[in-house]
């Protein structure tokens, strides 16, 4: 009887283990089937098992359904990595008025052309490439000039004569004239005093920068002979720039000198600038039916450079009810169009909008947002993807 029981246990044990394993597998399969996976790049792809995205081939990630808060909360690092930029909607800014194509150019009033004060040979250049930042008084070049050596000799001779005959006004006047001549030829007061103290003539003279700025053009090389008045380099100061914009001749009646315009530089949408029209070109541009307007833009931090594109907005009363946004600000799906609005620092919420006319530059928004809203104009798609990963495909 004991042996029969042992044989019976041996036969039934595998069957019992098999049933237990199948029950565990079945329960595990049910648990797995309850999980949802989606693609980080294409959140519309969703399935109940691990795999790859049929669109881009990326591995699917687990979908988190437990977040019930409205919108998204991002920290500063996440906002920077996602390149999320916002702008405040205003009647004369990104969200209203007629947009003119503009650009930043250097201000000629802050441009200095450096030319040779004397004829000679450029023995040394302290500036060798464009783009270098120059401070006022910084050495620019050293020139070998026999003319300057002759003037220095005349100055020293006049100094000795004035010292020997202090009561003779003629020698005093000659000495003063020799000093003034050196100053007119570009010698600084410090250089004249050093010459007066050392009493040594030097044909190699160093010239310094008359103002601070950026080297925009370099027209000379070491060892080159130059004549008096030859251009050497051009310095530009970017603390103030010009904004130039194009407008059709038929629309020029909407603009007058002194009128305020709003300027937005792409990449600095959060720093709109108000400028005044300082000049309206009365002549059409060659080959185009466009007129050019100009305004001065302060650039004290030197964060903008000539050549950058600019959006110039001309306020129009007829457009006050309609707001416009760049195409990248809108997200369209099966539920309609929406934008992202930053309601408080780092907190973004989707807002459903109705759209009207649109082109490659802007889309008119007829409802859903209003002046004063802080709307995301860059990084909206990444916010949409993050939202889908956390909350599912129901956006609004």
Evaluated on CA atoms 170, 173, 179, 182, the torsion sign reads negative
SS3 180: helix
156-209 pLDDT, tens digit per residue, is: 888 888 888 888 888 888 888 888 888 887 777 888 888 888 888 888 888 888
145-159 pLDDT, tens digit per residue, is: 888 888 888 888 888
- Range of lowest pLDDT (94-98, 131-135, 275-279, 358-362): 94-98
Helix pair 146-164, 189-198: axis angle to 10 deg: 60
Residues 93-100: what's their mean pLDDT?
A: 60
Q: Is the pLDDT of residue 314 over 80?
A: no
Estimate to the nearest angstrom the gap between the alpha carbon of 285 and the chain centroid: 28
- Range of lowest pLDDT (61-70, 110-119, 285-294, 339-348): 61-70
Backbone dihedral angles phi then psi of residue 87, each to the nearest 5 degrees: -145, 150
What is the structure's pLDDT at 16? 53
**Local structure of residue 320 (DSSP, 8 states):** S
| d(C-alpha 8, C-alpha 3), whole Å | 9
What is the structure's pLDDT at 105? 92
Percentage of the chain modeled with pLDDT above 70? 81
| d(C-alpha 353, C-alpha 368), whole Å | 4
Residues 292-312: what's their mean pLDDT?
A: 90
* Topology of the domain comprising 72-92+321-391: 2.40.420
What is the structure's pLDDT at 316? 53
Q: What CA–CA distances, in Å, run from 120 to 198, 205, 323, 370?
A: 23, 10, 63, 67
Statement: 115-236 belongs to CATH 3.40.50.2020: no
Identify the helix (H) or strand (E) that includes residue 224: none
Determine the Cα angle at 310 with ends 214 and 300, to 5°: 40
**pLDDT top residue among 62 and 248:** 248
SS3 37: strand
Statement: 98-107+238-314 belongs to CATH 1.10.1240.10: no
Residues 58-70: what's their mean pLDDT?
A: 62
Tokens 């082109």 sit on residue: 359
Q: Is the pLDDT of residue 274 over 60?
A: yes
332-377 pLDDT, tens digit per residue, is: 887 788 898 998 888 898 988 888 877 776 788 888 888 778 888 8
What is the structure's pLDDT at 394? 58
Tell me the pTM.
Answer: 0.53
Radius of gyration of the chain, Cα coordinates, nearest whole angstrom: 37
Tokens 């909607």 sit on residue: 89
204-246 pLDDT, tens digit per residue, is: 888 888 888 889 889 898 889 999 888 999 988 888 999 999 8
pLDDT grade for 31, boundaries at 50, 70 and 90 = very low
SS3 175: helix
pLDDT grade for 3, boundaries at 50, 70 and 90 = low
């Amino acid at each position: 009887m004991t042996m029969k029981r042992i044989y019976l246990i041996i036969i039934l044990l595998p069957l019992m283990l098999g049933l237990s394993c199948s029950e565990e597998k079945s329960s595990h399969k049910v648990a797995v089937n309850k999980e949802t996976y989606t693609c980080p790049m294409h959140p519309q792809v969703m399935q109940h098992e691990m795999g790859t995205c049929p669109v881009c081939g990326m591995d699917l990630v687990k979908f988190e359904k437990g977040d019930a808060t409205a919108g998204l909360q991002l920290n500063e690092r996440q906002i920077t990595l996602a390149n999320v930029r916002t702008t405040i909607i205003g009647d004369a800014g990104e969200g209203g008025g007629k947009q003119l194509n503009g650009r930043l150019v250097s201000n000629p009033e802050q441009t200095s052309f450096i030319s040779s004060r004397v004829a000679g040979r450029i023995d040394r250049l302290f500036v060798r490439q464009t783009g270098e930042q120059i401070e006022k008084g910084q050495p620019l070049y050293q020139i070998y000039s026999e003319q300057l050596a002759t003037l220095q000799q005349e100055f020293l001779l006049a100094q000795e004569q004035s010292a020997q005959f202090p009561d003779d006004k003629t020698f005093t006047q000659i000495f003063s004239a020799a000093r003034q001549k050196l100053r007119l030829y570009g010698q600084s007061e410090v250089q004249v005093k050093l010459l007066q103290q050392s009493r040594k003539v030097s044909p190699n003279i160093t010239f310094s920068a008359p103002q601070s700025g950026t080297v925009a053009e370099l027209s000379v090389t070491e060892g080159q002979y130059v004549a008096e008045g030859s251009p050497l380099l051009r310095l530009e100061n970017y603390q103030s720039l010009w904004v130039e914009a194009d407008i059709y001749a038929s629309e020029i009646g909407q603009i007058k000198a002194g009128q305020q315009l709003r300027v937005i530089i792409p990449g600095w949408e959060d720093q709109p600038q108000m400028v005044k029209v300082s000049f309206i070109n009365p002549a059409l541009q060659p080959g185009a039916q466009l007129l050019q307007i100009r305004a001065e833009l302060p650039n004290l931090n030197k964060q903008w450079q000539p050549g950058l594109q600019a959006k110039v907005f001309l306020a129009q009363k007829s457009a006050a009810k309609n707001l416009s946004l760049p195409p990248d600000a809108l997200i369209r799906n099966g539920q309609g169009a929406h934008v992202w609005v930053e309601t408080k620092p780092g907190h973004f919420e989707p807002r459903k909008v109705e759209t009207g006319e649109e082109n490659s530059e802007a889309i008119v928004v007829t409802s859903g947002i209003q002046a004063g809203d802080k709307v995301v104009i860059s990084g909206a798609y990444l916010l949409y993807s993050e939202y889908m990963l956390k909350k599912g495909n129901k956006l609004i």
